[in-house]
Amino acid sequence: MKIKEAINMIIWKYKDRKEDFQLVIRDRFVNEVEIPFKDIQRVDNNYIYLYNETIIPLHRVLRIKKGNITIWRRYST
């Protein structure tokens, strides 16, 4: 499953429980940052848009977590 599909599935299928999920991204200054799914407004083919007007490129997403369990992980090449 591609990252866009995984994010959209959580946004729409689990919309009442989005607070259970976190997006882990690679940051330039801090190694990894967790973003709660409740902060995600939408996703397109290239970016994730947050309600606070932050835009995150999809290639920065490392994994999706539900609590402490990883449910999606980017494959290393």
R_g of the chain computed on alpha carbons: 11
Amino acid (1-letter code) at residue 55? I
How much is the pTM?
A: 0.85
Q: Is the pLDDT of residue 71 over 70?
A: yes
Q: Which domain holds residue 17?
A: 3-73
- Structurally, how many domains does the chain consist of? 1
For residue 17, give the DSSP letter: G
pLDDT tens digits, residue range 19-67?
999 999 998 888 899 999 999 999 999 999 999 999 999 999 999 999 9
The residues pairing with 25 across neighbouring beta strands, listed in sequence order, are 33, 61
Q: Is the pLDDT of residue 18 over 60?
A: yes
Here the CATH number for the domain that contains residue 44 is 2.30.30
64 three-class SS? strand
